[in-house]
Structure 1
Amino acid sequence: MRELLDDFLYYLAIERGLAENTLASYHSDLEQFLNYLSKAGVTSLKDSNRGLIVAYLMHLKKQGRSPATVSQHLAAIRSFYQFLLREGILGADPTATLESPRQVKRLPQVLSVQEVELLLCQPQPKTPSGLRDKAMLELLYASGLRVSELVALNVDQVNLKEKYVRCMGKGSRERVIPIGSIACFHLQNYLQHGRGRLLKDKREKALFLNHQGKRLSRQGCWKIIKAYAKAAGLSSNITPHTLRHSFATHLLENGADLRAVQELLGHADISTTQIYTHLTQKKIREVYNHTHPRS
């Protein structure tokens, strides 16, 4: 079964060109599924069936996994079986009639403009790490980058003269994102006075470096932002994605076109971007009540 999983992951990487993070997610989810089958005495995927898959999904639910997580596992399992069916390894797909668990759509946490300002004021650009953190937070809010995209940036993907960054998003799709003058100023400051003092190996291309002079990790970025959120007296649930959500919501509140925001965020489907329109309804109502003569 592990050999078939390796074949599937190779197919996802080579033929579909999925990103490394996506491949890691597939690998983790399917390893858990295969471990469950092994414990159930199943030694061949030909002996698996719909009932076993349903039992596995129920097992995840009993573990306290959210409907979104269970749906993610089912999506990975379904893709795996569809691959095996196309390759002629299986004669039928046991996931064909399975429905994903219903998910409650939760609106993402968004900071107000004032809260964003408070957060961005926390880093003290007096040390190399302070310069890095200030540039990093300003860039996150200026661009709406995912944290994985942020830490993957290399120095040559930032053009301060033309005020944009180039990043590789999900599905290995490249996009060019404009950034404002304030973010450019702090990036320039970091590049001139901070990065070189963190750098240990001149061959390192990463934009944001840790204290070892290597590429800052996603976990490192999360810890940095949580520490500044705590220092600012903001919610402990704030993550790098909170700044992405705030970026999108503030653009829409100020009249940005939904399609433009979709492009900036790198969403393949506009329905993903539309969740932010729900967050702006309250703001629209406030503007209407304040400006319409018969409100």
Structure 2
Amino acid sequence: MVADQHPDAGEARVELGEEFARLSADYVRHLRSERRLSEHTVRAYAGDIQSMLLHLQQLGMAGLQDAELPDLRGWLARQQTAGSARASVQRRSAAVRVFWSWAEQTGRVDRNIAAGLKSPKKQRRLPATIDQAAADRMLAAATAAAEEAGGPVGIRDVAILETLYATGIRVSELCGLDLADLDTDRRVLRVFGKGSKERSVPIGGPGLRALQRWLASGRAQLAGAKSGNAVFLGERGGRIDPRVVRRIVHRALGVTEGAPDLGPHGLRHAMATHLLEGGADLRSVQEMLGHSSLATTQIYTHVTNERLRRAFEQAHPRA
């Protein structure tokens, strides 16, 4: 597959005209202040919209009112010709539809020409994950390494791995955990997900015990003036950085036999897959993962079905 690039990378040297620049700035403010999206998401959307506006500008248009649906289709076609991945083209198409809907709702255009903009059908890829035996080996190895090394870092790393696998929360959600977000009596974590949406996620016995051990004997050794109420701390005492968490997970999976190098999101996939394999209902998994759409969670049913198919083909004499 051709490596995906930012749309129209060469356009970065071209500046938007005054009207389009004001539109882009207004939309970015809307994404930040009203939709309260993460800075990463804002940057992605802003890049998509600026690329589309530059395309319209290069066609000689002074404002959105001059554009028609074929102009937007031409912009998408340029992305595909340049070698953008199908998923990226689909995301850009969705970003433009949302932008034009906002423009119509705020009176910047009379009609939403992007409503009829279609994107290429997204290829369904099953998320890579690890089986339950590999997850057990990973956690056992991390615990043994922590015992051998001693000190607070190993205790913290075990707590991070146990929490990610037990709850399926995102790295950003784990790093954002505060002490007040832990309810040890009810065995749940309060998590703030995408769009600052709050949800409660249960955590099992092993995960809770690893967390309690970290809080009781490890955290105090790293805590300092910059710690605040953060649950997980870096070695300098501040709130742990997502990059550190990713390194912890990559290192743990790297020494686990039979485990692909998945990163933290792989543990999220594993949690969801293992829950469904254990009989959990799809709605409950959706709520725990914080998915806004059930369709997003349904991908894990394909993972479990694929595993059953492989097991059948390997074991049944008439497969």
Under a length normalisation based on structure 1, what TM-score does the superposition of the two structures give? 0.85
- In 1, are the aligned partners of 2:134 and 2:259 still within 8 Å (CA)? no
| 1:252 CA displacement | 1.3
Query: 1:131-210 to 2 correspondence within 5 Å?
Result: 131-201=155-225, 204-210=228-234
| 1:158 CA displacement | 1.3
- Root mean square deviation of aligned Cα: 2.8
Aligned partner of 2:271: which letter? F
* Alpha-carbon displacement from aligned partner over 1:240-279 (angstroms, at most 9, x marks no partner): 1111111111111111122221221122222222221222
Match of 1:129 among 153, 167, 176: 153
1:95 aligns to what SS in structure 2?
helix
Against the structure 1 CA distance between its residues 39 and 219, is the aligned structure 2 distance closer, same or farther, given a 3 Å change threshold?
A: farther
Aligned twin of 1:293: none
* Matches of 1:272 and 1:154, distance apart in 2: 28
- In 2, are the aligned partners of 1:17 and 1:171 still within 8 Å (CA)? yes
Match of 2:105 among 86, 106, 113: 86
* Matches of 2:130 and 2:272, distance apart in 1: 11
Query: 1:19-58 to 2 correspondence within 5 Å?
Result: 19-34=38-53, 44-58=63-77
Detail structure 1 runs of 4+ shifted over 6 Å in the superposition: 285-289
Against the structure 1 CA distance between its residues 132 and 22, is the aligned structure 2 distance closer, same or farther, given a 3 Å change threshold?
A: same
Against the structure 1 CA distance between its residues 4 and 210, is the aligned structure 2 distance closer, same or farther, given a 3 Å change threshold?
A: same
Match of 2:132 among 94, 113, 116: 113
Aligned twin of 1:215: 239
- In 2, are the aligned partners of 1:208 and 1:216 still within 8 Å (CA)? yes
* Matches of 2:192 and 2:260, distance apart in 1: 29
- In 1, are the aligned partners of 2:254 and 2:261 still within 8 Å (CA)? no
Against the structure 1 CA distance between its residues 280 and 235, is the aligned structure 2 distance closer, same or farther, given a 3 Å change threshold?
A: closer
* Alpha-carbon displacement from aligned partner over 1:158-212 (angstroms, at most 9, x marks no partner): 1223311000122332111111111111111111222223223255222222233
| 1:287 CA displacement | 9.7
Aligned partner of 2:177: which letter? L
Aligned twin of 2:119: 100
Match of 2:294 among 270, 275, 291: 270
* Matches of 2:251 and 2:62, distance apart in 1: 47
* Alpha-carbon displacement from aligned partner over 1:23-62 (angstroms, at most 9, x marks no partner): 3432343344445556666564444443443333233334
* Matches of 2:236 and 2:74, distance apart in 1: 46
Under a length normalisation based on structure 2, what TM-score does the superposition of the two structures give? 0.80
* Matches of 2:285 and 2:56, distance apart in 1: 43
- In 2, are the aligned partners of 1:195 and 1:208 still within 8 Å (CA)? yes
Match of 1:3 among 6, 10, 22: 22
* Matches of 1:48 and 1:101, distance apart in 2: 21
Aligned partner of 1:232: which letter? T
Deviates more, 1:13-22 or 1:236-245: 13-22
* Matches of 2:297 and 2:41, distance apart in 1: 20
| 1:103 CA displacement | 0.9
2:191 aligns to what SS in structure 1?
strand
Say if 2:280 is the partner of 1:280: no
* Matches of 1:154 and 1:60, distance apart in 2: 42
2:283 aligns to what SS in structure 1?
helix
1:109 aligns to what SS in structure 2?
coil
Deviates more, 1:15-24 or 1:189-198: 15-24
Q: How many residues align?
A: 290
* Alpha-carbon displacement from aligned partner over 1:67-124 (angstroms, at most 9, x marks no partner): 2221111211211122112222223333222102111111111211111112223433
| 1:234 CA displacement | 4.8
1:89 aligns to what SS in structure 2?
coil
- In 1, are the aligned partners of 2:227 and 2:238 still within 8 Å (CA)? no
Q: Identical aligned pairs, as a percentage?
A: 36
Against the structure 1 CA distance between its residues 120 and 37, is the aligned structure 2 distance closer, same or farther, given a 3 Å change threshold?
A: farther
Aligned twin of 2:265: 241
Deviates more, 1:35-44 or 1:208-217: 35-44
Question: What runs of 5+ residues in structure 2 fail to find an aligned partner?
Answer: 1-19, 314-319
Aligned twin of 2:256: 232
- In 2, are the aligned partners of 1:57 and 1:74 still within 8 Å (CA)? yes
